[in-house]
Amino acid sequence: MPSFDIVSKIDMQEINNAVANAMKEITQRYDFKGSISNLKIKDQSIVLETEDELKAKQVNELLIGHLVKRKVDPKAIDLKSTEKAAGNTIRQVYELTEGIDQKVSKKVISEVKNSKLKVQVKIQGDELRVSGAKRDDLQKVIEIAKGLKLDLPLQFLNFRD
């Protein structure tokens, strides 16, 4: 019976590379000369420290640009908090989202059931296993999942016949 997995994973090496490239560009750009702008990775989050909202927005755009260049979906980062930091600076924390939570998985399962395809979708931890008799039905499930407007990137792995 053919099957595949729907997962939401991020490659931490690519995230590290994107942050390092963004920091390198920040140190070389003229408009950031003399400013305090910093990107760091802590646990499962990216911490941005800078002087004001304008620079924070510019650094965010730089980071997203470098993530896209490294083929990491920008939906994988989510702004969690903006706070005042020491020395009249701003700290923003971007959370790295990995895994499919219950709400999103139920939404995917309900859309697949509404399509009346003869497939089974099972929740396995933070991923979904889709299995069915026909390969064409599984490909339609992939199209349905891609068509949903979700706030996290989805990957389709372990396709087995």
* Pick from 14, 96, 1, 6: nearest CA to 47: 96
The Cα 157–Cα 100 span in angstroms is: 14
The 3-class secondary structure across 1-51, one letter per residue, is CCEEEEECCCCHHHHHHHHHHHHHHHHHCHHHCCCCCEEEEECCEEEEEEC
pLDDT digits (tens, 9 = 90+) for 78-128: 889 888 877 788 999 999 988 888 888 889 899 888 888 899 989 988 889
The C-alpha atoms of residue 79 and residue 102 are separated, in whole angstroms, by: 21
Q: What is the pLDDT of residues 15-64, one digit of tens each?
A: 999 999 999 999 998 988 888 888 999 988 999 999 888 888 999 999 99
Residue 115 and residue 88 share a domain? no
Residues 55 and 85 in one domain: yes
Label residue 42 left, alpha or beta by phi (over 0 means left) and psi (-120 to 50 means alpha).
beta
User: Does residue 87 sit in the same domain as residue 150?
Assistant: no
| Final residue before a domain boundary, out of 61, 76, 96 | 96
CATH number of the domain enclosing 107: 3.30.70.860
> Are 75 and 88 members of one domain?
yes
Domain housing 152:
3-8+99-160
Q: Are 79 and 92 in contact (CB under 8 A)?
A: yes
User: How many domains does the structure of the chain reveal?
Assistant: 2
DSSP 76: G
Is 111 in the same domain as 125? yes
Residues 114, 87, single domain; the answer is: no
24 & 54 share domain: yes
Whether this model's pTM surpasses 0.85 = no
Half-sphere exposure of 91 (CA within 13 A, CB side): 11
Same domain, 16 and 33: yes
CATH of the domain at 63: 3.30.70.990
